[in-house]
Chain A
Amino acid sequence: MKISAQRNGSVMVIHVDEDRIDASVAIQFKDQFCNLLDETADPVVLDLSQVDFLDSSGLGAVVAVRKLIGRDRKLDLAGLRPAVSKVMVLTRMNTVFEIHATIDDAMRFHGAGHVV
């Protein structure tokens, strides 16, 4: 699965370059996300703007990485497409994740510059 990390000042951005995070890639997503994480306590923004569809396994993997990161480090979501947004609302996980409309909004929120 295509997933990459980018530093933007004090924010770590993780881009998912896949159109689906589903049962067939959920474990890969979790493993690769953890490999990309650095040792800092800087906030992490997960860029989902390329992801059209997230199923319960994909959501479970996002929740799992959120738990692994721990309560002392932030993990925000950005760029949710309609079906991904729907899944977050249906499961009420939209009430506990900080969700930004775009990656630029997330950068502004964290006081970092634009992502190139």
Chain B
Amino acid sequence: MTDHNATRSEGANVFFIITSGDVRHALTDICNSLRQLGCGGDQIMQTEIVLAEILNNIVEHAYSGTEPNQISVLVDAAASTLQVEIRDFGIAMPGGKLPDGHLPSAIPDDVANWPEGGFGWAMIRELADDLSYQRVGDENVVQFRIGVNS
């Protein structure tokens, strides 16, 4: 086995502290790290989709109108199911809970009636298992899991 042929091992964690101005590069780095830990392509893709939506939501809402701020992302890759925790110091979720994010069960044929938003939370809720939100002191803490076949 070569050095760069990393395998997932017990206690394998990916931890990133990112600034809210650089979500794009952070996502690429996190996915590369998960790949090096031996995670499968489909699981990484699903993790990236959910992470992208949650991080963008933090930038656009929790840190809205502020200077670039810190977001931490911890992915516990020790087991086959990835356990992800995202923390930020922005404003709390309205109502102390995550948005519902439902799309219509069928998209209307007429383009004028197509949904214009709600895609993000709909995708998060489709892909993320055990999704939770807590306000802990000054921090927002979002946790979720992505299984091998979520």
* Residues in chain A within 8 A of chain B (CB atoms): 20, 22-24, 53, 55-57, 59-60, 63-64, 66-67, 70-71, 82-83, 86-87, 90-93, 95-96
Given known contacts A93-B107, A95-B107, A56 and B45 CB-to-CB distance under 8 angstroms: no
When distances are taken between beta carbons in the complex, the residues of chain B under 8 Å from A23 are 23, 56, 59-60
Q: Is the CB of B45 within 8 A of A96?
A: no
In the bound complex, what is the Cα–Cα distance between A23 and B53 (angstroms)? 9
Q: What residue of chain A has the Cβ atom nearest to residue B107's Cβ?
A: A96
The number of chain B residues with a CB under 8 A from chain A is 31
Q: Are B49 and A55 in contact (CB under 8 A)?
A: yes
Q: Would A20 and B24 be within 8 Å (CB), given that A56-B120, A59-B119 are in contact?
A: yes
- In the complex the two chains form, is A90's CB within 8 Å of B56's CB? no
Which residues on B sit within 8 Å (CB–CB) of A63? 114-116
B interface with A by C-beta (< 8 Å): 23-24, 27, 41, 45-46, 48-49, 52-53, 56, 59-60, 103, 106-112, 114-117, 119-120, 122-123, 126-127
CB–CB B106/A92 < 8 A: yes
A104, chain B: closest CB distance, angstroms? 25
Flag if A22 contacts B24 (CB, 8 Å): yes
Which residue of chain A has its CB nearest to the CB of B119? A56
Provide the main secondary structure of the chain B interface: helix
Q: Is the CB of A67 within 8 A of B112?
A: yes
A67 engages B49 (CB within 8 Å): no
Q: Tell me whether A66 and B114 are in contact (CB under 8 A).
A: yes
Q: Within 8 Å CB of A95, what residues of B?
A: 106-107
Is the Cβ of B117 less than 8 Å from the Cβ of A71? Answer: no
B contact residues around A67 at 8 Å (CB) = 111-112, 114, 116
Q: Which of A53, A60, A70, A96 is close to B52, meaning CB atoms less than 8 Å apart? A: A53
Are A70 and B60 touching (Cβ within 8 A)?
A: no
Residue of A nearest to B59 (CB): A23
